[in-house]
Amino acid sequence: MPPPKNAMEIFQLLDMSNCRECGKKTCLAFAGAVFQGQRKLAECPKLDREIIERFSAGPENPNTIEQNRDEYLKQLKSEIANHDLAAGAKRVGAQFADNKLSLKVLGKDFGVDTDGNLYADIHINPWVVIPFLSYILHGKGLPVSGNWVSFRELKDGKERYPLFQKRCEEPMKQVADIYTNLFDDLVHIFSGKQVEEQFESDISVVLHPLPKVPIMICYWMPEDGLESSLNVFFDETAYENLDIDSVFTLGAGLAQMFGKIALRHGFAETVSSK
């Protein structure tokens, strides 16, 4: 039996009860994660063994999220069309008017209407859209606690942390090592805030890619023969306000954005050689 061609084919195999026993908030979210290679079909506790054996030959590469994200975005937009945006806006700290929900993404206006159409003051990238829609659909809207934790300390983050390091923290550090004005630009361009140094870092900057999902970047400069280091931290409520896949996407997307900032400032050759 050939593997499913898209997430909707996987979704049709499920009982659609949204039981959450798999750790996902909806069956659609679980289907998307299976299609992206981030979860196994066998992790659904409701499926018969026969169905699992027939259809479990799906993609295993974590990078398939990029190859198939257009399909996943279509599914999220479809779910938005059946969602009460007014209630969602109240839950996640957004505004709702004229059939459109809007909130701040990195200090810029970002919105979606009841038909799933997107509006933004910044370039609409998938790494923003997927977490944005997931935040509206599934975020619990818990208040920020102020307690910072690493990605690996979030639920389901430990096994994915090596890839998070590779896709987020390492490229961010490369840019920060080269582009000394990076953190000043983050503060001024993206409404970030430089805060008192955390975890004995030399620089700590807080960004708000979503209202209730702040990110703190801590950078330690090279000293006494030791290399520089950079770590990304999330509020401990991040997993409740955004699924772990979208948290990963935010971190990796920010790293890409930092690289583009560096390229615009003339560091293309140095960054690409790293």
**CA 219-171-250 angle, 5° bins:** 90
Question: Tell me, what's the pLDDT at 220?
Answer: 93
pTM greater than 0.75 (yes/no): no
Q: What is the pLDDT of residue 250?
A: 92
Contacts of residue 229, defined as CB under 8 A and 6 or more positions apart, other chains included, come to: 173, 219, 220
Query: What pLDDT score does 5 carry?
Result: 61
**Which residues of the chain carry a pLDDT beneath 50?**
1, 57-65, 268-274
* The pLDDT of residue 223: 86
Whole-number percent of the chain with pLDDT over 70: 88
Boundaries of every domain in the chain: 7-67, 84-138, 148-272
pLDDT digits (tens, 9 = 90+) for 186-238: 888 888 998 987 888 999 999 999 999 999 999 999 888 889 999 999 999 99
Amino acid 271: pLDDT: 40
- The confidence score (pLDDT) of residue 112 equals 94
pLDDT of residue 136: 94
Which CATH number does 7-67 carry?
1.10.15.40
